[in-house]
Amino acid sequence: MLVKLPVEEFSRVLGSNSPAPGGGSVAALSGALGANLVSMVCSLSIGKKDYESFDNELAEALELAQTLSEGLLKRVDLDAEAFNSVMAAFKMTKQTEEEKKSRSEAIQAGFKEAVQSPLGIARECLDVLRLANKLLGKSNTNALSDLGVASLQAYAGLEGAIMNVKINIPSIKDTNFVSETSLEVSALLEEGTRVGNNIYQYVSENIT
Amino acid sequence: MLVKLPVEEFSRVLGSNSPAPGGGSVAALSGALGANLVSMVCSLSIGKKDYESFDNELAEALELAQTLSEGLLKRVDLDAEAFNSVMAAFKMTKQTEEEKKSRSEAIQAGFKEAVQSPLGIARECLDVLRLANKLLGKSNTNALSDLGVASLQAYAGLEGAIMNVKINIPSIKDTNFVSETSLEVSALLEEGTRVGNNIYQYVSENIT
């Protein structure tokens, strides 16, 4: 498992000439790091006098941030596996008509997974952004830069995941799947940009 | 060392109630992941017929990307240490006038380091962006989304590092240091935004 590797070893494997893990796994990790920073900000706020009226909300946010981090860390490995199944499908034999059909179906199934995987990453990165947004004005101001970095990481994860959706979409023949995915991509980007900008503006205005 | 921890353990430590590692370390890691993806894109392009006229440039870029990744990974730990020295300075005794003076000097030195550390991260993230920008049109188009994610990670690292500069700047009394730093921050952000937008636009136009 990739997430069992030491950070510096993960970094080395990522930089190697193997296409997986690649951008999709990095997008998932970026979202997870964002969720971890949200957890830290909650932990540095809970039980502090200035924020005691938000203690319940902060405790709920902490739990959700931990769940999001765990989910996104799983997706670091899942995304590399999704890429590898496409590659495996391309290597299937194609001598007979039946083999050609099976191979073609496996390739299509592989590409759908290679779209659904980053789409799932993008959804969860948006959840991290929504959560960070809720904590504005309700969490430790000493950790405001951490909340800002959480948002930047989640937004980079969202955008990065969507680049991975877009590079695989043209290979998919199922037009319903393509149009539904494109609609969702637009909605995710629209909300992500709006929420990300809101956090960025709040942090910029309140950080100095 | 933080980068010796397994990814999932680093993630857990980051999410804990300790303020270090925090956003600065994440910004450094984000830049390192960007540099790793640049390495991967170079490795997936070198020796390929379509890009053979760029082989020398790609080999140089690969080497620089690896150096940037190593430097930024070191900064993951250095940034946590910079934060801890500020905290240590605050805990110094302040009974006598001399102790007060020493403590105050140590706090100022600590805050300068807590500004210079993320400033260094921001500079190296900009170097990753510049490098990714040079590879547009000269690297494997199958890895275009990876080059896009590299840029997003480096840009998030740059912006995140600058948030860490900005949260510490108000504590510094040396006005020359403050004005020089503010000028550099503006220059880094200006170029980073310009280069990041250029890569984003290229990737968006060529990905589908």
Q: Given a cut of 80, is residue A208 above it in pLDDT?
A: no
Q: Enumerate the residues of chain A whose CB falls inside 8 A of the CB of residue B76.
A: 7
| pLDDT of B25 | 98
CA distances from A52 to A61, A133, A207, B207 (A): 14, 19, 22, 48
Please answer yes or no on whether A6 and B7 come within 8 Å at the CB atom.
yes
Please answer yes or no on whether A7 and B8 come within 8 Å at the CB atom.
no
SS3 B6: strand
Please answer yes or no on whether B166 and A207 come within 8 Å at the CB atom.
yes
A6-16 tens-digit pLDDT: 999 999 999 99
| pLDDT of A72 | 98
Q: Is residue B11 part of a domain?
A: no
Tokens of residue B171, six digits: 């504590």
B109-136 tens-digit pLDDT: 999 999 999 999 999 999 999 999 999 9
Q: Is residue A186 part of a domain?
A: yes
Tokens of residue A64, six digits: 């959700």
SS3 A6: strand
- CA atoms of B109 and B81, how far apart (whole Å): 13
- Residue A202, chain B, CB below 8 Å: the answer is no
Q: Enumerate the residues of chain A whose CB falls inside 8 A of the CB of residue B169.
A: 208
Alpha helices in A16-143 (DSSP H): 23-43, 55-90, 97-134
A32-78 tens-digit pLDDT: 999 999 999 999 999 999 999 999 999 999 999 999 999 999 999 99
| pLDDT of A184 | 98
- Residue B93, chain A, CB below 8 Å: the answer is no
- Residue A160, chain B, CB below 8 Å: the answer is yes
| pLDDT of A186 | 98
- Residue B158, chain A, CB below 8 Å: the answer is no
Across the interface, of A36, A44, A167, the residue whose CB is closest to B14 is: A36
SS3 A48: coil
| pLDDT of B19 | 85
| Residue A176 C-alpha, separation from nearest chain B C-alpha, in angstroms | 18
Q: Given a cut of 90, is residue A19 above it in pLDDT?
A: no
- pTM over 0.90? The answer is yes
Please answer yes or no on whether B159 and A145 come within 8 Å at the CB atom.
no
| pLDDT of A157 | 98
Angle value at C-alpha A142, between B92 and B69, nearest 5 degrees: 90
- Residue A76, chain B, CB below 8 Å: the answer is yes
Q: Is residue B7 part of a domain?
A: no
Please answer yes or no on whether B23 and A156 come within 8 Å at the CB atom.
no
Residue of B nearest to A62 (CA): B15
SS3 A46: coil
| pLDDT of B107 | 96
| Residue A93 C-alpha, separation from nearest chain B C-alpha, in angstroms | 23
SS3 B173: coil
Length of chain B equals 208
Domain with residue A69: its CATH number is 1.20.120.680
- Residue A139, chain B, CB below 8 Å: the answer is no
Please answer yes or no on whether B4 and A6 come within 8 Å at the CB atom.
yes
Please answer yes or no on whether B7 and A8 come within 8 Å at the CB atom.
no
C-alpha of A66 from chain center: 14
- Comparing CA positions, the residue from B128, B155, B10, B162 lying closest to residue B76 is B10
Kindly report the backbone phi and psi dihedral angles of residue A6, in degrees, each rounded to the nearest multiple of 5, phi listed first.
-60, 150
Which residue segment(s) compose the domain that B49 sits in?
19-206
Q: Given a cut of 80, is residue B208 above it in pLDDT?
A: no
Please answer yes or no on whether A14 and B40 come within 8 Å at the CB atom.
yes
Q: Is residue B91 part of a domain?
A: yes
Task: Please give the average per-residue pLDDT across A170-183, as a whole number.
Answer: 98
- CA atoms of B124 and B73, how far apart (whole Å): 11
Q: Is residue B88 part of a domain?
A: yes
Tokens of residue A148, six digits: 């800002």
Q: Is residue A35 part of a domain?
A: yes
Kindly report the backbone phi and psi dihedral angles of residue B20, in degrees, each rounded to the nearest multiple of 5, phi listed first.
-125, 135
A122-161 tens-digit pLDDT: 999 999 999 999 999 999 999 999 999 999 999 999 999 9
Burial class (CB in 10 A: 0-12, 13-18, 19+), A190: exposed
Tokens of residue A109, six digits: 């199934």
- Residue A47, chain B, CB below 8 Å: the answer is no
Q: Enumerate the residues of chain B whose CB falls inside 8 A of the CB of residue A148.
A: 23, 160, 163
B18-64 tens-digit pLDDT: 989 999 999 999 999 999 999 999 999 999 999 999 999 999 999 99
Classify the phi-psi angles of A47: left when phi > 0, otherwise alpha if psi is within -120 to 50, otherwise beta: left
Tokens of residue A98, six digits: 């039946």
Residue B22: CB atoms within 10 A of its CB come to: 24
Q: Which of B146, B158, B186 to mutate to test the interface with A (most CBs of A within 10 A)?
A: B146
Task: Please give the average per-residue pLDDT across B131-155, as a whole number.
Answer: 97
Residue A88: CB atoms within 10 A of its CB come to: 12
Across the interface, of A40, A73, A144, the residue whose CB is closest to B16 is: A40
Across the interface, of B23, B146, B170, the residue whose CB is closest to A148 is: B23
Classify the phi-psi angles of A5: left when phi > 0, otherwise alpha if psi is within -120 to 50, otherwise beta: beta
Number of domain units in chain A: 1
Q: Is residue B69 part of a domain?
A: yes
Task: Please give the average per-residue pLDDT across A22-41, as a whole number.
Answer: 98
Alpha helices in chain B (DSSP H): 7-14, 23-43, 55-90, 97-134, 144-168, 175-206
| pLDDT of B110 | 96
Q: Is residue B6 part of a domain?
A: no
Q: Enumerate the residues of chain A whose CB falls inside 8 A of the CB of residue B208.
A: 166-167, 169-170
